[in-house]
Each structure stands twice: as C-alpha cells, then as structure tokens.
Amino acid sequence: MQTSDVIKRDGQRPTETFDQAKLHASVLAACLSVRTPEGEALQIADKVCEVVMKWCETKPEITSADLRRKAAEALENHHPEASYLYKHHRLVM
Amino acid sequence: MAKKPTFDYDLIVIGSGAGGSAAATIAARAGKRVAVIEASEFGGESPNWGDVPRQALLHAAQLYDEAKHAARFGLRSAMMGYNYPSLHAWKDQTIRRTGAGGNRRYYENEGISAFNSPAHFLSPHEVSVARRHLSAEHFLIATGSHIEAPNIQGLEQVKYLTPRKLLAATRLPKSLFVIGGGSVGVELAQLMAIFGTKVYIAEIASRLLPHEDEEAGTLLERSLKEQKGITPLTQTRVLSVIKDGIGKRITFNRGGTEKTVHVEEVLVATGRVPTVDIGLENASVAYTPKGIEVNEYLQTTARHIYAAGDVLGHGSPTHTALLESRVAAHNILHPKSRTSPDYTATPRLVFTMPGIASVGLSEDDCLKRDLHINKAVAPLSIIARSNTADFRDGFVKIITDKKGVIIGSTVVSPHASEIIHELALAVKHQLTAQQLADTPHAFLSWSEAVRVAAAKLS
C-alpha cells in the first residue's frame, strides 16, 4: 500500500507524509471537546481513520484541506456536533 | 502591467474518453500545449468496455439468433453453434480496430502529453499526477462515470458482475439476474439469453426501458419474454442477495409479494454515478452527487475549468459526450464567440433486436410540458419489407406540433439506429410531416414506415 503525501494549506510549509496517528489524535480531540466519553471517542476516531485511509489508498498526493474534509464527512455519520467543530475549528477556536 | 502567469500547459484534459479526446485533439491541432490525464485505460469506457465490445458481441449474437431461426426461409441451420472464446477474440479485435481503445500513442503523435495515472486537483490551476504537479490555464474534466452498487442487502458481500466484468468473462453463466432494465441492462440480457443463459431482468419502474416511449418498452418486454425466454420482473425491488452454494439467492418484492430466485450470477446494470472524486473542492468546482454543475457554455463554477460527458450527470451517450467535448474546445479556443451544445436532435439508441431509436420529445415529455401534439404510428407490418424479412414487431411513431412540425419520433425496427437519422434531421431543421411524406422513400426499405407515419400526419 502506498503512503500519501499531504500538501499543506498555505503552500509554504513542506509536504508531509500522511500520519494516521496525527489524524486519529485530531478526531479524538474534536470528539472529546464536545464531551464525548473517551471510549466512544476512541472508537469513532478509529472508524474515521479507517474511512480516510481507504480513501487515501489510490491517491499519492492530497491536500490538508482534503484530509480535513474527508475526516469531517466520515465524522458526520458518527457525531455531527464533533464533525462541525472539526470542520470549522479555525473559526470556532 | 501585471505579468501574465505562466503554466505548464494551455489545456489539461482529465479523462481520455469521448468527453475528453475530441477537445484535446482540437486544442493540440490549434497549436495549444495540451496534456491528457487518464486514470485507467486510454480511450475510456466506450471503446474499451462499453459500446464497442457490447456492440461487437451483440452483432454476433443477433446473426447467430437469426441463423438459428432461419429454417422458415429454407435454410438448414439446426447444427448452428458458437465458440465463446472465439467470440471473445472477435470482440477484442473490434476494440483494437477502433484505434480509440488504449490509444496513448495517438495522443503522443498529436503532440499531446499523455499521463496514465489518476489526477487530483491541488488548487484551481494545478493537479497532481503520480506525485507530479502540472499547471494549466484551462482544464476540461471528462472523467465519466462509474457503477456504484445499489443499496441492496448483501450485495457488497457477494461477487457481483458489472457490464464490464460480464463482457470480460471467459465463460457464460448458466443463469443471470440483471438488476436494472435500462438500455445496457436489456442489451446484455438479450445477448446472454441468445447464447443460452437463463435471464431474469428486474426493473423498479412499471416497464423495461422506462426512459423510452411506453409502447417501445412494452413491445421489447414482450419480445424478450416470448422470443428469448427472458423473465422480465417489472415493478420489482431487489431486497437482498445472498451467496448460496456456488450461486446467489436473490430475494425481491414484486407487487407486494416477496419471491426468491437462485441464479449463478448477478449483473448490476444500474446506478452509474459521475466520477467526481478528483479534489474538485480544491479547485472551487461546485458539484453534487448527480454531477458537476456547468453553465450553458459547459463552464464549471471555476470559469477556466470546463466539464463534458457523463461527469455532468445526464447519462450522455458517446455521441453527446463528443459534441460537448467539441463545444468545450471551441469555447476555450474562442472565448469571444462561445457556443452551447444543442441537444435537440440527439438520437437515443438501444441496440436490441428489434432496435429502438428515438429523437426529440417523447409522448411523456409532451404530456409533462402540456404541449398540444399530433401523433401517428405506422406498424412495420404494413410495409413490404416486413413481408420479405418476415419480421413484424415494430413501428415508427412521429410526433408533430399543431403546425405539423416534427418534434419527436420513436422507431422500433431492425436498423432503427440508421432510420432515426432522417428523423433527427427533421427535428433539427424543423421539417414538417408533409415535407417528410413528400420525400420519396425506396420500396422495400424499412424507412418506408417513416413515410407512412408522416403521411398520416400530413
């Protein structure tokens, strides 16, 4: 399985290799911030990561916006509130 | 003065099928720097796995079927048989001969850069192709569509066939359940039935070919049932598909009753969805699950990005995708004299036996628009050719407005796909039924039915 490279948003920072742990942590943080129990938050983060990883399989390069959008889409099915926060975290925080 | 940004290409075409190929060639011949990006096989769906191989097999199947039933003409055909691997070889030969299937070299000879990898937009003017970043002033998205399995319980867990997989299969299934009674579904159902497969075809609408004229759908359904032994299951919702031994067990609901049938294979011939997962959000191109939104000039919400073909979501046949591709190329090359695609006289074809072809408005369309119309139907049985060919199932229907101008037509007949072009010309140039009836039509041609139908309206 190939690893996707993530092109950062502003084009200034260097491209990174896709880091599943980083995605998992960000989804987990979004879930916890809307008071989701930790066990449930972990389960949701696992499922979201699975969906995003599958989507990345055929894409050698993606943007960080792609990653955020896909994760938010997957999160929407499990926790709409956390998904909203995840999608708009720059505006909300 | 601000410096004009420089790009790697003037035009990047994403997709090398009918929606992309014409535009790439036109732009390259006009001296533009062009690149074509193809995620799969060069040439796209139609020549590789769609129209061409299907038509090649249908041609052979229809010849075989006619010969098998030719004893009434005094021909001895009881020993007729076929060799499926040889039929496959014939199909593959037709693909090679089109020159469109796997035609990467064609693009390179035209001076077009060809890339064989999926494309993904990174920004409005930049795509990533196999970790290479390419920029262009204009883009044409012609990624086509793909089959997405309908939401049927258990379907994802069994190995189901798509039209592409069925045509590539090296042996015929003993029995086949076709989900979807549209044009591809009925063509493949007839093809398989001719070669001896027991076929069931399920359609959620009240008739097969629900987008065609009602009489055409009904006639074909009867023909498939009585002459080919196909079991049409209209008004049928498939509930579940379960693996059952070496075959599959399908449960469906028809008229409020649940029934089950055991078959060897399931063919999903419905649910084509536009291929839009190419990072369109990064390019600010608006789309819905039904396709990319374009204006009358085929421009997307990012005005330098155009789209053509199936990705627009209106299920365009190959000739419509080609038309859109040419229009997009014209609009990119001549922004001050932009044009829109004219769909009024685009024929719609179903390559069954008898064939079905239609153009312009159908009776249903006229009803929905509350148009006052006149119509006439000429059954094939009243023309001389039906006598000499011993073939009577079919008709020509012509619809005119109140002034007698032809606005639509449906032909159900052998060679319907040829006959329809006369009527397409009439629709495009607003000819009257009188003008058509006054035009001589050769004795013993199937087209005599057109004259007869037109004469009834004049």
d(C-alpha B169, C-alpha B87), whole Å: 11
Interface contact B282, partner A, CB < 8 A:
yes
Please check whether residues B301 and B204 belong to one and the same domain: no
Question: With contact defined as beta carbons under 8 Å apart, do B148 and B271 qualify?
Answer: yes
Q: How far is A4 from chain B (nearest CA, A)?
A: 9
Closest CA to B385 of B439, B455, B451, B447: B447
pLDDT at A90 over 80: no
Nearest to A69 among B120, B122, B281 (CB): B281
Domain with B262, as residue range(s), is: 155-270
Co-location of B332 and B356 in the same domain: no
Which pLDDT value is given to residue B78? 77
Q: What is the pLDDT of residue A57?
A: 86
**3-state SS track over B170-190:** CCCCCEEEEECCCHHHHHHHH
Q: Does some domain include residue B88?
A: no
Contacts of B122 in chain A (CB under 8 A): 7, 61, 63
Q: Is the pLDDT of residue A16 over 90?
A: no
* Helix/strand/coil for B151: coil
Distances (CA, A) of B341 to B22, B327, B344: 14, 6, 9
The reported pLDDT for the residue numbered B373 is 94
Size of interface A-B (CB pairs under 8 A): 27
Closest to B194 in 3D by CA, of B84, B75, B62 = B62
Look at residue B94 and tell me if it is in a domain. no
Q: Running along chain B, 458 residues long, what does each successive block of 10 average in pLDDT?
A: 80 96 97 96 90 95 93 87 93 88 86 95 94 95 93 92 93 95 95 96 94 92 94 96 93 93 95 92 94 96 97 90 97 96 94 95 91 95 95 96 96 96 97 96 96 95
Could you tell me the two tokens for A30? 């979004």
Report how many domains make up chain B. 3
B161: which DSSP letter?
B
Q: Are residues B311 and B361 in the same domain?
A: no
CA distances (Å), origin B191, targets B152, B212, B229, B418: 25, 20, 12, 20
- pLDDT confidence bin for A12, thresholds 50/70/90: low
Note the Cα B137 to chain centre separation in Å. 32
Residue carrying the six token digits 């419509």: B320
Same domain for B21 and B108, yes or no, is yes
Structural domain count of chain A:
1
B257 and B278 share a domain? no
Within-domain flag for B403: yes
- The answer to whether B389 and B454 are in contact (CB under 8 A) is no
In a domain, B92, yes or no: no
CB B28 within 8 A of CB B111: yes
A12's CB contacts (< 8 A; 6+ apart) are none
Domain boundary among B285, B309, B337: B337
Statement to judge: residues B29 and B137 lie in one domain: yes
Closest chain A CA to residue B280: A66
User: Does one domain contain both B277 and B209?
Assistant: no
Where is the domain boundary, B253, B270, B287? Answer: B270
The CATH number of whichever domain residue B332 belongs to comes to: 3.50.50.60
Look at residues B287, B312, B337 and tell me which one is the last residue of a structural domain.
B337
Evaluate whether residue B199 is within a structural domain: yes
Asked whether B346 and B320 are in contact (CB, 8 A), the reply is yes
Rounded to 10°, the helix A38-56/A64-78 angle is: 130
- Give the bridge partners for B37, in sequence order: B14, B115
Is the residue at B66 inside a domain? no
Nearest CA in chain A to B277: A55
Residue B314 is given by DSSP the state S
Higher pLDDT, B328 or A85: B328
pLDDT at B223: 94
Query: A26 is in which domain, residue-wise?
Result: 5-12+20-92
The strands making up B348-350's β-sheet, listed across from edge to edge, are B348-350, B355-360, B406-413, B395-400, B374-379
Instruction: Say whether A60 and B279 touch across the interface (CB within 8 A).
Output: no
**Amino acid letter, residue B203:** E
Please indicate, yes or no, whether residues B141 and B280 belong to a single structural domain of this protein: yes
Q: What's the angle, vertex CA B249, arms to CA B274 and CA B269, rounded to 5? A: 20
In a domain, B49, yes or no: no
Distance set, CA B227 to CA B194, B232, B428 (Å): 10, 12, 36
Look at B282 and A65 and tell me if their CB atoms are within 8 Å: yes
Task: Tell me: pLDDT of A1 over 60.
Answer: no
Phi and psi at residue B3, to the nearest 5°? -75, 135
Distance of CA B263 to the CA centre of its chain: 27
Joined tokens for residue B81: 């048989």
Q: Is B284 on the interface with A (CB under 8 A)?
A: no
Q: What pLDDT does residue B193 have?
A: 97
What pLDDT shows up at residue B103? 82
Collapsing DSSP to helix, strand or coil, B318 comes out as: helix
The per-residue pLDDT for B3 is 67
Instruction: State whether residue B281 sits within 8 Å of chain A by CB.
Output: yes
Which pLDDT score, from 0 to 100, does residue B1 have? 57
3-state DSSP assignment of residue B247: strand
Q: What is the model's pTM?
A: 0.90
d(CA B99, CA B122): 33
Query: Angle at Cα B50 formed by Cα B205 and Cα B28, nearest 5°?
Result: 125
